Structure 1
Amino acid sequence: MRFGSTGESVRMALETVRTNKLRSGLTILGIVIGVLTVITISSIISGLNNNVQSWVDSLGSNVLWIYHMPVIGVQPTTEMLARKKMTYEDAMAMRDLPHVVASNAGVRHVNPIFQVGVIGVKYGTKKAQGTMLEGDTTSIADVSSLTFIQGRLFTQGEDDRAANVVVLGHDTAQKLFNNDNAIGKEVEIEGDLFTVIGVVDKQKQVFGGGDNPEDNKAIFPYRTFKKLHPEDKDLWLSVKYDDPKNRPLVEDELRELLRRRRNVKVWQPDNFEIFAPDSIARLWNQLTGGLAIFMVAVSSVGLMVGGVGVMNIMLVSVTERTREIGVRKALGATKRNILVQFTTEATTLCAIGGVIGIIGGAIITLLIRLVISALPATMSATWAIIGFTVSLAIGLVFGIYPAWKAATLDPIEALRYE
């Protein structure tokens, strides 16, 4: 095997690891920690991103939300809080727009301490606590793509006459009826009786584990809800439109309609907000962008420490093998041969650290998936490749100087070295 060949250099690196296990292990520990950090944090971010995207998709396609103030990524100002609320008539007017398929006016009951209503739903001796009360039009099924496991949604006739009917969330029905049929049963809510006509399937949530508040609710026809809580006027409007390519046009039409209905002057800014589920995804990506910067910063420290350690052990190796280098040069090895050999040894050491870090990150990712259901970690092949490539680069950068020092040794002086 010729001097300075890759195979010989790798063999020498592995020999160094075998003969100095503890020293080599401590040397590449920084590389291992840096790569392991990258793999672990990127796996958590990737898993959460997948969950958020899946949840956003479940909110409905081709959907726009309209509210009197921004609620995603913005701290409402006093002016925003004082704005006129959206109205039921606004939602009805939106249905006449050319590209609008359906529009819904939704409202939820909030108790005096500004938390979701802690209401109890009773059936016989059983009771579901902390149930959310919600009123919607019949378009809620079209806008939100509700899936029923029992029964149906209320009809327009039931809404018009404010019938005492209710659709229960999955967890609410489970607490009251277990797996029994809930259709036709009468439940007591705030002192009145309501006939159960449907049960909604479980809703997706961003983070796994724990109870989803969206599964513990009672959905009433809009006018039925207004009988229970006429004081609640904080409406949330949602619109489903026909084609994704028409979104800019639909937004413009909605904006023009609402500015006219809300008497907004030409020179005044909108006193309402139009946004879509992808606004949540964009906000989340901004948050995870900061976490990614933190990941790079933490892993960089480990990789730099590992790089210094590699340089240190390679300098020691050059000193220990000075006489050997002299013999090699005397037998015909060139500066380039020696330079390639020691650079490859340093890179091989870092590659070993990178592989160990990737394996460790994979094990931690698996443990997170098994132990913490709320953090659905998903290992990213891209980040594994990046981690391994960076470890090789660290070996190359920090191995250059020791390799250059070995390559420039005078062969006569090296042969005399004891």
Structure 2
Amino acid sequence: MNILELVTMAIRTITAKPMRTLLTMLGVIIGVASVITLVSIGQGTTEQIEKQYESLGTNLLVVNLMGNGRAQQLDYEELMELEILPEIESIAPTVTKSGANVKYDRESESYSVIGTNDRYFSLMKTEIESGREIVEADVEFRNQVAVIGSEVAKTLFGKVDPVGQEINIDGIVFTIVGKLAPKGSSIGGTSPDSAVIVPIVTAIRTFKLGQIRTAYLEAPEVDQLTAAQTTVTQFLTGKFKSSNGFRISNQDELMNARKEASSSLTNQLISVALISLLVGGIGIMNIMLVTVSERTREIGIRKSIGAQRRHILTQFLMEATVISGLGGLLGLLLGVGASLGWPMVNPDQPTKLSLDFGLYALLFSVLVGVIFGLYPANKASRLKPIDALRFD
């Protein structure tokens, strides 16, 4: 009996009871679909992270102070003096107030307030949709002006241009001078879309935020990034008398850290999905054992007319493999559909289909059928014809 005949016989047998077969496949279907969907989400996230960092260029440094107290704070004027060095193009220090109450007319919502200078907009590659950015004079004269993100503008003003309007931030009135174009998530943790950006000195004094603990620095060229990082390290080590109170990260380090975290989470979720495949395999083994019991007389008749042990073994093993293979194929189609449809449900979460990984998942599902179908098939092949024929 050739492979084609075995497959045909197996399909005829399992389609005789379609509902039982479908329920048997369910674990495999869910497992394969979950693996494909999770991998596509993970790869989509990784690609999104790469695009975010590439959009900021590769010559950016991020300084974060780790300690507490005034001994571990940066002074704005002192930090900006580093711009005279040839290896540093521009510096954008930031202070952040989370959960500030931003109010306009009767609309009120909580947003993060970012205090920074005019360099921030070019470093973060943000674009002004209307109005203007914060300029150096706003920082120098401590003007109470603000640039709002696209989400803030949509919530508070709807379709009305907010430029020239006044908003109330924790009881302090600020005049809106600009509105940002939509950008998406940011490496700094707070997206400009859902933030209010004000002059840094104004933010420090108005909201009593203390001194600077985060700063973005840009080197003129990528090949000067190492020199810039060395200079900043020496400056901070000399200022704080220690190299343990701060962390300086470049674009590659930040991107790799986020990709590693995303990959780790994806791998954990895939592991859970693979468990579904194994559970599906147990379900296949259980049903095949039931099938062997139901077809004991058939096995006895086949053996009595000359069927050998390997024929019976191959027949039942093929049935288990076909069940798991069809379940894997249905799971593959379901996973592809879920991957393509996920961005429609959650536009902020892109996906990237990996058909290679889908093929691996399908082959693994077939392997599950072979492994878990081996015991029932072996049990069927060991039945003695006389005992099988006496079975009622």
Under a length normalisation based on structure 2, what TM-score does the superposition of the two structures give?
A: 0.79
Matches within 5 A, 1:374-413: 380-404=354-378
Provide the residue aligned with 2:148 in structure 1. Answer: 168
- Secondary structure of the 2:91 match is strand
| Alpha-carbon distance, 1:105 to partner | 0.7
Distance 1:294 1:30, change over 3 A: closer
Moved more, 339-348 or 362-371: 362-371
- What is the root-mean-square deviation in Å for CA atoms of aligned residues? 3.8
Q: Are 2:166 and 1:187 aligned?
A: yes
Distance 1:134 1:30, change over 3 A: closer
Distance 1:387 1:318, change over 3 A: farther
Distance 1:362 1:216, change over 3 A: closer
- Note if contact 2:292-2:380 (Cα within 8 Å) is conserved in structure 1: no
% of aligned pairs identical? 22
1:34 to 31, 36, 46: 31
Distance 1:292 1:162, change over 3 A: same
Q: Are 2:103 and 1:116 aligned?
A: no
Provide the residue aligned with 1:101 in structure 2. Answer: 89
The whole-number CA distance in structure 2 between the counterparts of 1:323 and 1:104 is 85
Gap regions ≥5 residues in structure 2: none
User: Which structure has the highest helix share of the two?
Assistant: 2
- Secondary structure of the 1:284 match is helix
Q: Are 2:73 and 1:85 aligned?
A: yes
Q: Which amino acid aligns with 1:187?
A: E
Q: Which amino acid aligns with 2:140?
A: D
The whole-number CA distance in structure 2 between the counterparts of 1:186 and 1:232 is 28
- Note if contact 2:299-2:380 (Cα within 8 Å) is conserved in structure 1: no
The whole-number CA distance in structure 2 between the counterparts of 1:282 and 1:354 is 29
- Note if contact 1:48-1:377 (Cα within 8 Å) is conserved in structure 2: yes
Matches within 5 A, 1:109-258: 110=97, 115-120=98-103, 122=104, 125=105, 127-175=107-155, 177-183=157-163, 185-189=164-168, 194-205=174-185, 214-229=192-207, 231-242=209-220, 247-258=225-236
Q: Which amino acid aligns with 1:161?
A: F
- Secondary structure of the 1:145 match is coil
Matches within 5 A, 1:365-376: 369-371=343-345
Q: Give CA deviations for 1:333-383 in whole Å, capped at 9, x if unaligned.
A: x76665544433331222112223333444555665555556656654344
Distance 1:100 1:309, change over 3 A: farther
The whole-number CA distance in structure 2 between the counterparts of 1:30 and 1:193 is 59
- Note if contact 1:88-1:235 (Cα within 8 Å) is conserved in structure 2: no
The whole-number CA distance in structure 2 between the counterparts of 1:299 and 1:203 is 40
Distance 1:22 1:136, change over 3 A: closer
- Note if contact 1:186-1:196 (Cα within 8 Å) is conserved in structure 2: yes
Q: Give CA deviations for 1:15-73 in whole Å, capped at 9, x if unaligned.
A: 1012233443344343334334434544554555555555555666433221111xxxx
- Note if contact 1:131-1:216 (Cα within 8 Å) is conserved in structure 2: yes
| Alpha-carbon distance, 1:174 to partner | 3.6
Provide the residue aligned with 2:320 in structure 1. Answer: 346
- Note if contact 1:310-1:395 (Cα within 8 Å) is conserved in structure 2: no
- Note if contact 2:292-2:376 (Cα within 8 Å) is conserved in structure 1: yes
Provide the residue aligned with 1:65 in structure 2. Answer: 62
Under a length normalisation based on structure 1, what TM-score does the superposition of the two structures give?
A: 0.75
Q: Which amino acid aligns with 1:352?
A: L
Distance 1:337 1:355, change over 3 A: same
Moved more, 316-325 or 149-158: 316-325
Distance 1:6 1:223, change over 3 A: same
- Secondary structure of the 2:182 match is coil
Q: How many residue pairs align between the two structures?
A: 382
The whole-number CA distance in structure 2 between the counterparts of 1:53 and 1:90 is 33
Matches within 5 A, 1:289-368: 289-310=267-288, 312-313=290-291, 316-317=294-295, 320-327=298-305, 329=307, 339-362=313-336
The whole-number CA distance in structure 2 between the counterparts of 1:397 and 1:172 is 56
- Secondary structure of the 2:234 match is helix
| Alpha-carbon distance, 1:296 to partner | 2.9
Distance 1:158 1:314, change over 3 A: same
Distance 1:105 1:152, change over 3 A: same
The whole-number CA distance in structure 2 between the counterparts of 1:404 and 1:318 is 13
Matches within 5 A, 1:263-282: 263-264=241-242, 269-276=243-250, 277-278=254-255, 279-282=257-260
- Secondary structure of the 1:65 match is strand
- Note if contact 2:281-2:369 (Cα within 8 Å) is conserved in structure 1: no
Q: Give CA deviations for 1:126-161 in whole Å, capped at 9, x if unaligned.
A: 655434332212210222111111132233244333
| Alpha-carbon distance, 1:8 to partner | 0.4
